[in-house]
Amino acid sequence: MRISVIGTGYVGLVTGVCLAEIGHIVTCIDIDALKINLLRSGKSPIYEPGLEELIVKNMAEGRLHFTNQYNEGLIRAEVIYIAVGTPSNEDGTADLSALEDAAIAIADQISNDVVIVTKSTVPIGTGDRLKAIIEYNKSNDSVSFEMVSNPEFLREGSAINDTFYGDRIIIGSDSVKAAEMIEEINKPFQIPIYKTSIRSAEMIKYASNAFLATKISFINEISNLCEKLDADITEVAQGMGMDKRIGAHFLNAGIGYGGSCFPKDTNALMQIAGNANHDFELLRSVIEVNKKQQNILTEKAKRRFGSLEGLKIAVLGLAFKPNTDDMREAASLTVVTDLIKSGAVVSAYDPIAIDNARKLLPEEVEFLSNIEDAIQDADCVFILTEWPEIVNFDLELYVSKMGKPVIFDGRNCLDMTKIQELKIEYHSVGRSSIYLNHSYPVSPLPFQGNKK
């Protein structure tokens, strides 16, 4: 089938490349000419494992094309996916300007009947809004179109795998024919398909992300309680996750969620609820818990050292999660800025995200290309992203490079058993601290029962 994809960000590019991989003829459109030229050369503008190889392969086999011209990209398209960004406005609402621009371009260019698919994450009712915009602006009155909502559920860093081995494909449409057409396109993925109305599909995306964010904030609150009661959050989370009703996913305590989806989508859903006169108290608490959680390592360090003024602190991991160069809403943005404001001297390492980090972090930060140089003579280390290079780093090098190493692990990614064998002071989230082979738990709660 002939498919056009508008937008070559994380969602649009992965969608277009994977649709080409299963046999469709795909043209990806982006108004950024520099990005299109990069893609035509076989290079990806984003870091996503396996993506660049698929781009080169499908271009060579004639199924994947790139253009910055709408008239070239939309010609004879049977299906058009809209996958442009919907970033947050200052009030938390979704900015739909790029989406509306795409809709107007479609209205101006389509010359045959077409199905238009919204892939971007959009507020409930956006499908109806886009339909009205296209109907009002279309230049050819003889052309008909149908709208479909087909939200994505991709995780940055594993987006290719998620496309081919996802849990479900949601297809929302008020047209049976259009829904069946999108179902046919996706059949080669062999993933369960669930059909709904457009508005239900739009809500499924927001509700799914809000629920996952809720799990993260919940386990982080439990982790903070564990520290006060001398329980181990790793054991608690594992015990909880064994219950099939709860599940083990998204029960990893740490310094909170970030990225392009959870912060944006939870804030947007709060605004959607407010517009419907619904007080979403639970989600408001989820957002507040996450904001506080990002400061937990800095607070631990201040309690440990008294003052951070003049301390050399090595920050390991800057991207919001491993296997991506995405810095959007990354915890490092808050943590590193607070460290600099507190007078610390910060050296930072990330295997992929340094170029993006330079644009966003304070100019005082020294960026280094390897962990050894970053931790050399550091007073303490902050681990903010659980990259394999950081998780598997030789612990003995902390001792030899730092002398008396102090590690604050915001992702609970280091092996406490191994740390106890070395002269490393170690502070994590929801677990007892370790100092020179000794653990210092909190004092037990006093007995409050009645004497017999």
Q: Which residue has the tokens 């790793």?
A: 234
**Domain that includes residue 307, residue range:** 294-440
- Residues 70 and 120 grouped into a single domain: yes
Domain limit, last residue, from 236, 270, 292: 292
Domain final residue, candidates 267, 292, 317: 292
**Does residue 452 register a pLDDT over 80?**
no
Among 292, 309, 333, where does a domain finish?
292
Task: Say if residue 29 is in the same domain as residue 85.
Answer: yes
Are both 279 and 298 inside the same structural domain?
no
Q: Whole-structure pTM over 0.85, yes or no?
A: yes
Distance (Å, rounded) from C-alpha 84 to C-alpha 99? 6
Write out the catalytic residue numbers: 261
* Shared-domain flag, residues 300 and 411: yes
Residues 37 and 122 in one domain: yes
Tens digit of pLDDT for each residue in 136-175?
A: 999 999 999 999 999 999 999 999 999 999 999 999 999 9
Q: Is the pLDDT of residue 448 over 80?
A: no
- Establish if 169 belongs to a structural domain: yes
Residues 280 and 326 occupy one common structural domain: no
Co-location of 19 and 72 in the same domain = yes
Q: Hunting for tokens 């993506």 — which residue is that?
A: 51
CATH value at residue 236? 1.10.1040.10
Distances (CA, A) of 335 to 69, 136, 297: 41, 48, 8
Instruction: Kindly state the average pLDDT of the residues 265-287.
Output: 95
- CATH code of 47's domain: 3.40.50.720
- At 254, which helix (H) or strand (E)? none
Give me the pLDDT at residue 320, please. 95
| Number of other CB atoms surrounding residue 302 within 10 Å | 14
Do 65 and 189 have their domain in common? yes
Residue 355 lies in a domain: yes
Task: Give yes or no: residues 78 and 162 share one domain.
Answer: yes
Q: What is the mean pLDDT of residues 231-257?
A: 96
Asked if the model's pLDDT at residue 359 lies above 80, the reply is yes
The Cα 362–Cα 383 span in angstroms is: 18
Question: Do 51 and 184 share a domain, yes or no?
Answer: yes
In a domain, 446, yes or no: no
Do both 125 and 217 map to the same domain? no
In the chain, what's the furthest Cα-to-Cα distance? 90
What would the two tokens of residue 44 be? Answer: 């990806």
Please check the confidence at residue 438 and state whether its pLDDT lies above 90.
no
C-alpha span between 368 and 163 (Å, rounded): 34
Within a domain: 114: yes
Q: How far apart are CA 391 and CA 407, in angstroms?
A: 13
Same-domain status, 261 and 386: no
In this prediction, residues 8-37 reach a mean pLDDT of 97
Q: What is the C-alpha separation between 122 and 323, in angstroms, rounded?
A: 26
In a domain, 44, yes or no: yes
**Is 120 domain-assigned?**
yes
The number of distinct structural domains making up the chain is: 3
Local confidence band at 60 (pLDDT 50, 70, 90 cut-offs) = very high
Q: How many CB atoms lie within 10 A of CB 447?
A: 7
Whether residue 40 lies inside any domain: the answer is yes
pLDDT recorded at residue 445: 47
In a domain, 449, yes or no: no
C-alpha 190: how far from its chain's center? 25
